[in-house]
Amino acid sequence: MLKSYLIYFLTGGIFTTLIVAAEESGYRLLSGFATLMPVFTLVAYAFIGESSGPKAVGESAWFVLAGTLVSWVPYMIIVAYLAPRYGSRIAIGAGLLGFFILAGIYLSVVYHYHWFGE
């Protein structure tokens, strides 16, 4: 099991490193495309599919899709709106605060009503 976790960790880290390296090397189109790619869900679903099967991947995909609309979209709006006005650090901090509040509410509702799986 520890070996699997190490592989998961390295795979996610490699993708993240490649995205940052492409950006720093001036390959903005490539890094932009890679940033839009759902890297973490791609990696996670590949491993979840192997360990828990396709039904678990489908349930997780619905869960993540709804959660994205509830928490990630507002996070991006906050960052996009605040960054030019107050700088990237404040914008990201405010965006994360909004994200965590909305994600917490979302998770509470999902688990209270037993949505998206068993």
Look at residue 34 in the predicted model and tell me its pLDDT: 78
pLDDT tens track, the chain, 118 positions: 788 788 878 887 888 888 889 889 988 888 888 778 787 788 889 889 999 999 999 999 999 999 999 999 999 999 999 999 999 999 999 999 999 999 999 999 999 999 987 5
Single-letter amino acid code for the residue at 78: I
The structure's pTM equals 0.72
Calculate ∠ Cα 94-95-99, nearest 5°. Answer: 120
Give the per-residue pLDDT at 39: 75
CA 66 to chain centre: 12
Q: How far, in Å, are 61, 62, 86 from residue 94 at the CA level? A: 27, 27, 10
